[in-house]
Each structure stands twice: as structure tokens, then as C-alpha cells.
Amino acid sequence: MPTLLRATFPHRHNANGSYDSICTVCYTTVASVRQEYELAAAESMHKCDPAILYQLSQYRTPAGSLLA
């Protein structure tokens, strides 16, 4: 059974004033919005794409970090 990972979502404030939310598990941009508070709804609904997780697993070391 696969291990479930709990994502966190750092926010990035862009030069154009918008905010992005990034999933720390699958590294995708979950949402890009004008008001930072709007990110919470997208984050609560986010599900990592299994295909992306599989692709990322091909580049991880045994310790779990991505290869440089």
C-alpha cells in the first residue's frame, strides 16, 4: 500500500500581484489567484496526480530527496 504524504502549500507572491500555491509533494501549482486568502479552497481540494508522483519517484534518491 502506498504511503500517504501530507502536502504543504508554500505561497509565492508574483511581480504582477498574484499569489501561487505550490504542492510540496507533486510540485505543481495548485492555484494562482489575486487574493492570497483564495488559495485555501484550492489547497483543500488538491489531489496529487498519480502519474506525476510516479514520474517524480523515478528521480528520487533512497533518502527521498530529488536528484540534482
What tens-digit pLDDT sequence spans the chain (68 residues)? 455 667 799 999 999 999 999 999 999 999 999 999 999 999 999 999 999 999 988 886 666 566 55
The DSSP result for 11-56, as a single string, is: EEE-TTS-EEEE-TTT--EEEEESSGGGHHHHHHH----HHHHHHH
The answer to whether residue 47 is domain-embedded is yes
pLDDT confidence of residue 25: 92
pLDDT confidence of residue 1: 41
Contact 28, 49 (CB under 8 A): yes
Give, for 57, the enclosing helix (H) or strand (E). Answer: helix 50-57
Task: Give how many domains the chain has, as a whole number.
Answer: 1
The answer to whether residue 33 is domain-embedded is yes
The answer to whether residue 62 is domain-embedded is no
pLDDT confidence of residue 57: 86
